[in-house]
Amino acid sequence: MSPARAPAAGLPADDGGGDPWGSATIVPPQTIAGRALTLVIAIMTFLASLTLGAVTLIDDAARAWTSDIGRELTIEVRPIDGVDLPGEIAKATALAQEFQGVGRVHALTDTETRRLLEPWLGSGIDLDALPVPRLVVVEIDDPLAVDLGALREAVAADVRGGSLDDHAAWIDRLRAMAGAMVAGGAGIFVLVLVALVLSVVFATRAAMAGNSDIIGVLHFVGAESGFIAREFQRHFLLLGIKGGLIGGSLALACFVVAGLLTRQSAGMPGADQITAFVGGLRVGPLGYAAVLVLVFAVALLTAATSRWAVHRSLAEID
């Protein structure tokens, strides 16, 4: 009978020192390579999340531009000698309101028109002295119900000097520009994602290289490949989640701070330009969800790479 099988008489069965394993794990919990891997994952997740946020921001902004402009028409009334301009404007306003699907119709006042022209002509201009066309803004409640062709014909027929601008050319250009920006952003995101995958894979392999002795010992004490792979996979999954959450949280914090800053600086010229261009710098729920998905995808990638490295290491031993 071996000594392990037959406890010597009189020896205590416990040394009284509590749980000898405690929180000890087979894979060392804190190593330099492990910390470096967490850092690499955090940085790459941060960059990928920022790119993802920027792409969703541009996409949302592009949708908002086209949708806002598409829900608005303009009736332009040019001044013609001998024609009562306010009368024609009132006629255009009444005409537009008769159409189905049309919401609020608002003729720009002289003050509003002056403010529109101020950047080009300066303040205090005399509108009557200039052949400035007046604008009637027609808001569309239901784009499908509005018969644009009929409205255009009615404006041309009934309003002297009147014409309808549905911004079609502008919307098409805007759509093309927004599409190009979103495609460019998506391209950059794909590149960042590839860089993320490569750096996580290589950093995990580097961290695993330092664990080859442990894999060897486990193998020699009779551990099954599945057991060794599971131990490392669990450890690296936790490292991946930790790094990913750090990077993802920092990126989300950046989005929140950017949103707060634009809200706080509302009214200032620079901030207004930004708001007009990309909205309130707010990443929607989809953006936040995408960052979370990214964090867990990175963690899974790290775990899968460690599993692959274990099997490769065991194949080399055998």
Partner 1 sequence: MIRFENVGLRYGMGPEVLSDLTFHLPPRSFHYLTGPSGAGKTTLLRLLFLSLKPTRGLITVFGKETTRFAKTELPQVRRRIGIVFQDFRLLDHLTTYQNVALPYRVLGRDESSYRADVIDLLKWVGLGERMHVLPPVLSGGEKQRAAIARALITKPELLLADEPTGNVDPPLARRLLRLFVELNRLGTAVLIATHDLALMDQYDARRLVLADGRMEIYE
User: What CA–CA distance (Å, rounded) separates 35 from 266?
Assistant: 41
| DSSP element (H, E) containing 102 | strand 102-107
Compare residues 23 and 123 and give the one whose CB is closer to partner 1: 23
The interface with partner 1 within residues 73-112 (CB under 8 A) comprises none
Surface-to-core class of residue 302, CB atoms within 10 Å of its CB (0-12 exposed, 13-18 middle, 19+ buried): buried
The interface with partner 1 within residues 199-238 (CB under 8 A) comprises 213-214, 216-225, 227
What's the distance, Cα to Cα, between the start and end of the chain in Å?
Answer: 32
Compare residues 118 and 224 and give the one whose CB is closer to partner 1: 224
User: What CA–CA distance (Å, rounded) separates 274 from 263?
Assistant: 11
Q: Which tokens belong to 149?
A: 């062709």
Other beta carbons within 10 Å of 37: 27
Per-residue mark of binding to partner 1, 159-198 (x: CB under 8 A):
----------------------------------------
User: Does 1 help bind partner 1 (rule: CB under 8 A)?
Assistant: yes
User: What CA–CA distance (Å, rounded) separates 114 from 225?
Assistant: 79
Compare residues 20 and 267 and give the one whose CB is closer to partner 1: 20
Q: Which of 8, 32, 129, 144 binds partner 1 (CB under 8 A)?
A: 8
How many Cα atoms are found within 13 Å in the side-chain-facing hemisphere of 130? 12
Angle at alpha carbon of residue 259, lines to 256 and 265, rounded to 5°? 135
Q: Coil, strand, or helix at residue 228?
A: helix
Could you say which DSSP state residue 272 is in? H
Q: What's the closest the beta carbon of residue 24 comes to partner 1, in angstroms?
A: 6
Query: How many residues make contact with partner 1 (CB under 8 A)?
Result: 35
Instruction: Tell me the β-bridge partners of 107.
Output: 136
Q: What's the closest the beta carbon of residue 299 comes to partner 1, in angstroms?
A: 23
Contacting range for partner 1; rule: CB under 8 A; set: 25-33, 117-125, 185-193, 264-272:
25-33
Q: What's the closest the beta carbon of residue 246 comes to partner 1, in angstroms?
A: 24
Other beta carbons within 10 Å of 149: 9
Q: What's the closest the beta carbon of residue 235 comes to partner 1, in angstroms?
A: 12
Contacting range for partner 1; rule: CB under 8 A; set: 9-17, 75-83, 181-189, 239-247:
9-17
Contacting range for partner 1; rule: CB under 8 A; set: 24-32, 39-47, 107-115, 274-282:
24-32
User: Does 26 help bind partner 1 (rule: CB under 8 A)?
Assistant: yes
Give contact residues for partner 1 (rule: CB under 8 A).
Answer: 1-5, 7-8, 11-15, 17, 19-21, 24, 26, 28-29, 213-214, 216-225, 227, 317-318
